A and B are shown apart, each in its own frame.
Chain A
Amino acid sequence: MKVELRFSTERVSEPIISSVILQEKAQINILRAQVSEDGGRVLLEVPDNQADEIIKAFRKLGAEVIVGKIIEIIEDKCIECGHCITLCPVNAIFFEKDYSIGLDEQKCIQCDSCLDACPTRAIKLYGE
């Protein structure tokens, strides 16, 4: 599953992720990382069966952990044109058989590519 970490500027230089990987012996995949003046934000893919332990470990080390919504397509805005499908590098968005828009939220890596392409601005990323 996907979790987002946020940490303050002081903690950016600490090896939080490596510590947790070693401590929990977990395979953690870094999908997106961003460091700015307001601190660091990292999107991680963690194994489902170890998720609880991993989240606890991160919190212990002072990182804020956000679990839950990654992306949403706002239903009454979306006109189901499908343009976002062609922009998604990980096939998180797709057409159902009847041309409705399907979304596999867990696949989304929050790359932003679809956001400015949506003609009705129906896509919302969380944690922005």
Chain B
Amino acid sequence: MEYLRHKNINVRKIHNKLQQKRNLQLENIRTIEEINEKIRKGDVNVVTAEEMVELVREKGSTIAAKDVDVVTTGTFGAMCSSGAFLNFGHSDPPIKMENLTLNGVNTYHGNAAVDCYLGVTKMHPEKPFEYGGGHVLEDLVSGKEIELEAAGYGTDCYPRKYLKTIITLQDLNQAILCNPRNAYQRYATATNGRDEIIYTYMGKLLPNFGNATFSGSGSLSPLSKDPNYETIGIGTRIFLGGSIGYVIGEGTQHSPTNKFGTIMVKGDLGKMRPEFLKGAAFTRYGTSLYVGLGIPIPILNEGLAKKTGVSDEDLKTNVLDYGIARRDRPVLKETNYAELKSGKIVIDNKEVSVTPLSSIKKAREIAKILKEWIEKTQFFLTAPVDRLPVDTIVKPMKVVSRIPFVNEIMENVVTCNLNDNIDVLAKKIIDNNVNHIAVIDDNDKLLGIITSFDITKAIATGKKGLEEIMTRNVITVYPEESVDICATKLEKYNISALPVVDRSNKLKGIITSEKISSLLGRIGLR
């Protein structure tokens, strides 16, 4: 008893000490105004996030907090939720633009007569997956001439019905980069468990975990260095596309409760640099824009020193199988940015080559440039006028008519063994009124497929063994995949059925094209 009581007191003591330490960490040791004063005087101490990691590792967060005023971060990745508001001024006679293309790329112009929004993923109809909105923005920022073509329906106040002209960025009244969702706090690593190449927004993924890609710059990544958005908020001045930009609110799909925060940003396209805004094309996925973005984080207290000092090892992310095209992709394992940056991760006992899709070198460069701007009195910090939400979640889409998944509609499949003879198969086909028979081994694993046509052909040519007549490289689907995937595969490979197998190639059922057609017909997709 005596011992226990003693222990309790000790526990309380330790607890109190911890609490005190925590309070100390949260106690502000400097303000943003004080930092700006130091910038003005030229004696501010700025380090990049990577330098901060080293400093905290070597000297601890207390000393780092005392020494460092600002930590700069950076990221350079494809950010599909990007685009620009453009205003062209009025022609004479004026036009209310109804269909407007820039270098052939459609813009959104559901605003006033000569305003538009150009989204980076909008593709050129004749150069799909090669040229799109992101490229138009890069061309604009590079000072290139852009062809503008517009049609209007003609009104009493805007009589003109057609217009074709050449513009450059200089000719516009406003060109405001305004990205609804940038700088994801963290992002998953993508790989592909399917037995075919897939082309995704995470790049080209080779079959059977042949490679992997990740996004984000790890310990340089802006939002992961201020994970509770204590200093990043509405009005925070940032590096955007090589110039100055601002955080204007939380990004769409901002999900702070599970540390998937995002920000909405804006900046003047006219001042940006093409090295930090690059059009991108992802084969068979679409176009996008690489955006360079960096945020300075003022070290107001020791807590922030600690958070900005978090290393690549401490930043975790999941490896997901993009081979399964569902909202919630299967998690294969957890990894961290140190492992990812090493270039290799182990998946399924196999060493897999992994690289970012974003650029670590550019991210570093951005953090460095931002540091220089601050040191050279060219960039001052701002206190946010309001905080970003810290308690919201992302809801899935509400869908009223749902598309079924394979395991809900697959049918029983008629099977046989390799040593069955053709007469047995012919009988099975007649008795069960089917067109496909799956060949399986003793453990139900799929070996091949035989159609009624294969049997007819075998009889006509006198072939006897199933090995000779079955198709071995069978295109299959997984039970958790959606019917759309089945439809795509049936069409792509010009086949009439898809055996359903699990991850270990065990046969579960079959999906036939008749079933899919009748189903999609009912949902109204065909």
Binding site for B on A (CB under 8 A): 79-83, 85-87, 95, 98-100, 116-117, 119-121
Contact = CB atoms under 8 A, between A and B. Distances in A.
Contacts of A86: 206, 211-213, 353-355
B358 A81 contact: yes
Given A79-B278, A83-B213, A85-B355, 12 more contacts: A81-B358, A81-B359, A82-B359, A83-B355, A99-B361, A99-B364, A100-B361, A116-B283, A117-B283, A120-B279, A121-B130, A121-B281
Given A87-B206, A117-B204, A121-B281, A82 B362 contact: no
Contacts of A95: 343, 355
B114 to A, nearest CB: 31
B287 to A, nearest CB: 9
Contact of B360 (A85, A99, A116, A117): A99
User: How many B residues touch the partner, as a band?
Assistant: 20 to 34
Contacts, number: 66
Nearest to A83: B203
A120 B278 contact: yes
Contacts of B235: none
A100 B360 CA distance: 9
A102 B76 CA distance: 19
Most buried by B among A79, A85, A116, A121: A79
A119 B288 CA distance: 9
Interface string B344-381: 00000000011111111110100000000000000000
Most buried by B among A87, A98, A119, A120: A119
A88 B206 CA distance: 11
Contacts of A81: 355-359
> At the interface, is chain A mostly helix, strand, loop or mixed?
loop
Contact of A83 (B130, B204, B281): B204
Given A95-B343, A117-B204, A121-B130, A83 B357 contact: yes
A120 B355 contact: no
B361 A80 contact: yes
B120 interface: no
A81 B343 CA distance: 12
Contact of A79 (B76, B353, B354, B364): B76
B204 A87 contact: yes
B362 A79 contact: yes
Given A81-B356, A86-B355, A119 B343 contact: no
A44 to B, nearest CB: 26
8 contacts: A79-B290, A80-B360, A85-B355, A86-B211, A98-B361, A99-B360, A120-B279, A121-B281
A81 B203 CA distance: 11
Contacts of A79: 76, 278, 290, 359, 362
Contacts of B280: 119-120
A82 B211 CA distance: 12
- Pairs A-B, 7 closest by C-beta atoms: A82-B355, A86-B211, A117-B204, A119-B280, A99-B361, A86-B353, A116-B283
B134 to A, nearest CB: 10
A87 B198 CA distance: 13
Given A86-B211, A87-B204, A100-B361, A119 B78 contact: yes
